[in-house]
Amino acid sequence: MLDYIASHEPTIRLSFFLGTLGVVGIWQSFAPKRPPSVSTIWRWLNNFGVTFFNTLLLRLLFPFLAVGLAAVAAEKGWGLFNLIHLPIALSILIAIVIQDLVIYWQHVIFHRVSFLWRFHKMHHADVDYDVSTGARFHPVEIILSMLLKLGVVVVLGPPVVAVIIFEILLSSIAMFNHANAGLPAGIDKIARKFIVTPDMHRVHHSVIRSEHNCNYGFNMPWWDYIFRTYQAQPSAGHQRMTIGLEEYQKDRKQSIFWMLALPFRRRKKA
């Protein structure tokens, strides 16, 4: 089973991406949490256009992505997991948790370091919040994130399958928790003890600075609880809260070119 996953990684990842996109897209179409303020077709074309561009860019720039480097690390005996011998299931679990913790702190740092925020704010500048927002990141952020992931792989030497599972989780759960939808309140209250839900992460996309500097988790919510960056609900409520960044509220139709140029524009006054 593990060998099958490793040998069919591209197909499996693409299947999960398209499957999650389809399921979440249907969910938010039939039960939208908020009415869109911009054409959904326009946003999807541009947001997923950036995603497609990022995918091509990574393939061009890196001879190995995280999964490929994990295979090399296993062959060469690099990293902690290749020095200690744990049961494979335990190794996979620990590796996934560590990778998730790293991504949490990456997210925090991209908010707190002004140079990095210039690139991450493209994600936050989206004036609506839906499944496409979860795939909208600036290429520079994607490249820096990949460099970090590669470093983690070299240090940890995680099982190849652990890296594949984590990448699938990161992509799929990001689309899930950026859905323009919500779980019933009782279910959400329980679910957010184990996974970042749409209502939990939507707070992070508020124009209010104190709110978009909380709820950094992508997959696991525990880091926000542990490091005290958790806020349960937006102060204005999910229906009345304003999504995005204050200084870009007038930029409603954000093209792919607008997004790519955003970090290099002069800071606008709100």
Q: What is the pLDDT of residues 102-112, one digit of tens each?
A: 999 999 999 99
pLDDT at 2: 57
pLDDT (tens digit per residue) in 15-47:
999 999 999 999 999 999 999 999 999 999 999
Give this prediction's pTM: 0.93
Whether residue 144 is predicted with pLDDT greater than 90 in this model: the reply is: yes
Question: CB 63: neighbour CB atoms within 10 A?
Answer: 8
- The answer to whether residue 17 is domain-embedded is yes
Domain, as residue range, for 161? 2-264
| Percentage of the residues of the chain whose pLDDT score is greater than 90 | 84
269 is a domain residue = no
pLDDT at 255: 95
Query: Does the pLDDT value for residue 261 go beyond 90?
Result: yes
pLDDT value for 269: 56
Confidence band, pLDDT 50/70/90 cuts, at residue 252: confident
Which amino acid would we find at residue 145? S
Residue 51 has pLDDT above 60, yes or no: yes
Q: Is residue 233 part of a domain?
A: yes
Identify whether 248 is part of a domain.
yes
Domain count, the chain: 1
Residue 194 falls inside a structural domain: yes
Confidence at residue 187, expressed as pLDDT on a 0 to 100 scale: 97
In a domain, 270, yes or no: no
Mean pLDDT of 89-97: 96
* pLDDT (average), residues 162-171: 94
- Domain membership of residue 39 (yes or no) is yes
Determine the pLDDT at residue 66. Answer: 87
pLDDT of residue 64: 75
Lowest mean pLDDT among 59-63, 180-184, 204-208: 59-63
pLDDT of res. 63: 77
What pLDDT sits at residue 42? Answer: 95
- Per residue in 118-129, pLDDT (tens digit) is 999 999 999 999
Domain membership of residue 159 (yes or no) is yes
Mean pLDDT of the chain: 93
Of the two residues 55 and 64, the one the predictor is more confident about is 55
**Percent above pLDDT 70 for the chain:** 96
Which pLDDT score is estimated for 268? 56
The whole-number pLDDT of residue 3 equals: 65
Which of 137, 159, 178, 17 lies closest to 89 in space, CA to CA? 159
Comparing 82-86, 146-150, 234-238, the range with the smallest average pLDDT is 82-86
